[in-house]
Structure 1
């Protein structure tokens, strides 16, 4: 297991890059990288420069833009513009069709599964909305339960089956969904902590966007429940700093990581 203690999402991603680059015996792959991020929404200038470099790298090679990866988990800009009602009501109609146009998202998005499901009676409901309501109801009583807020696979009618073995997910040898489970907890001082478990994590194309998407989801839950945001934990049960036969090679990945480190260091020094 590799524990990563980081201040920001970019910090965690770069630490993971460095660790995976050292795993040359297994094609830059390792198991059980656990990142704890103290300030998941923080984006100082050096970190913003890293996001810009990574986004250009991906877009120039026909990968998913950084913002699209974020939106597969949570539509942060929709929340900023239209509030919670906009997220619940407009994601499927306004955002999802654009995301699904990219071939890498043909299976759907996590946000779609979090925001809109169908119960056993054929009625649509929002698992995320139900989780927020459950959290708020617990805060209104004494003896608040701090560990019953799951977005996972326990009960597809009450929780969010992000990885759903009852669907075609079980037949996909590769590709999404790689996020298996999300667990939401309350800390002793009533901050919202979010833990995500990935069965597989592609560090170049997905991980940094995933971390920011999770951070925005965590922020949404905290805001709507009237709480502060706590640490974000991401458990990548398998992580790979991947190359792509038609998009980028190992030399380009090494160069990408080096440029990201340099840009962040330059901003800190300034």
Structure 2
């Protein structure tokens, strides 16, 4: 089994290091099991590198990285929203239209966070619950690592009994595909004694070229938003992939991964 743990400062460095760990002569399939990528500053990345990677992605017919990131956190909409509740309301109103876009017919990750399809038939807003619980716990005398954002429920009814920190994406009994949405299974939030919120995300599979960089961006922005709204500091992001694969045009990717590509001005 090929596995690794990466710890880097920002999204770009973490993604490049993880890809290079997969692109090895002794790993002809360029795959890994239970890989771990830890990002100390998950809201930071190299804009020039991202633009170069985007050009390569678009040439392959893939969405821009900002589009991928927005499925996890719609940053521009959040900037125009007065509160988490306002953000959730606005996104829910837009959600039917968003799901008409190619690739979104089963929904988006952020859509599941603010409009989870519970057994009652109504969409449940989970984002505000997480922020509220973090605020309450941070104001108390005991601050501990006890904030689970569980994206995989055993039954739809679990959402009704879950604590305020549970964010569910996977809908049991409905999301039965072996591949495709949702690959993100679980997010766990931890609040440390320095009042920083850390996140760990578990993916059942992760395609490094197609999705990972954009997912890192989106998860980092989601974490930062939750922390900011709870008046806490943004901590580290850790992403665990049950199965990771370096996909895409590897010959064209390698100059980016080795730093020999001519970046855009």
Category of TM-score, reference length = shorter chain: 0.7 to 0.9
Instruction: Say if 1:96 and 1:112, in contact at 8 Å, map to a contact too.
Output: no
- Residues 1:68 and 2:67 aligned together: yes
SS in 1 for 2:44: coil
Q: Distance in 1 between matches of 2:244 and 2:211?
A: 11
Aligned to 1:87: 87
Change (3 A) 1:255 1:61: closer
User: Which residue among 256, 259, 263 is the counterpart of 1:262?
Assistant: 259
1:156 aligns with 2:136: no
| 1:84-111 CA distance string (max 9 Å, x none) | 3442121233477346412x33321110
Matched, 1:225 2:225: no
Match of 2:4 among 2, 5, 16: 2
Determine the structure 1 residue equivalent to 2:188.
183
| Structure 1 stretches lacking a partner, 5+ long | 244-251
Q: State the partner residue of 1:242.
A: 247
List aligned pairs for 1:75-224, cutoff 5 A: 75-83=74-82, 84-94=84-94, 97-98=97-98, 100-102=100-102, 104-154=103-153, 155-157=158-160, 158=162, 159-167=166-174, 169-170=175-176, 172-224=177-229
Summarize deviations over 1:153-186 as a string: whole Å, max 9, x none: 253333333222321x12x122121101000001
Q: Name the CA distance, whole Å, in 1 between partners of 2:20 and 2:104.
A: 28
CA contact (8 A) 2:54 2:65 kept: yes
Cα–Cα, structure 1 residues 101 and 192, in superposed 2: closer, same or farther, change >3 Å?
same
Please give the secondary structure, in 2, of the residue aligned with 1:82: coil
Quickly say closer, same or farther: Cα 1:256–1:96, change in 2 above 3 A.
Answer: farther
Deviation at 1:135, TM superposition (A): 1.1
Aligned twin of 1:31: 33
- Cα RMSD (Å): 2.4
Does structure 2 conserve the Cα–Cα contact (< 8 Å) formed by 1:34 and 1:236?
A: yes
Change (3 A) 1:162 1:98: closer
Instruction: Note if contact 2:144-2:193 (Cα within 8 Å) is conserved in structure 1.
Output: no
Are the aligned partners of 2:138 and 2:195 in contact in 1 as well (CA < 8 Å)? no
Q: What number of residue pairs does the alignment pair up?
A: 254
Q: Call closer, same or farther: CA 1:24–1:58 in 2, change over 3 Å.
A: farther
**Maintained 8 Å contact 1:53/1:260:** no
Matches of 2:123 and 2:95 in 1, distance apart?
18
The match for 2:44 is 42
CA offset at residue 194 of structure 1? 0.5
**Following the alignment from structure 1 to structure 2, what is the Cα–Cα distance between the partners of residues 265 and 229?**
33
**In 2, are the aligned partners of 1:192 and 1:222 still within 8 Å (CA)?**
yes
Q: Provide the C-alpha distance between the structure 1 equivalents of 2:146 and 2:261, rounded to a whole number of angstroms.
A: 36
- Residue 250 of structure 2 is aligned with which of 247, 253, 267? 253
CA contact (8 A) 2:32 2:245 kept: yes
| Structure 1 residue 238 displacement after superposition | 0.8
In the alignment, which residue of structure 2 is the partner of 1:249?
none
Gap change, CA 1:98 and 1:61, over 3 Å in 2: farther
The answer to whether the 8 Å contact 1:49/1:264 transfers is: no
The structure richer in helix per residue is: 1
TM-score, scaled relative to structure 1: 0.85
Where 1:163 maps in the other structure, the secondary structure is coil
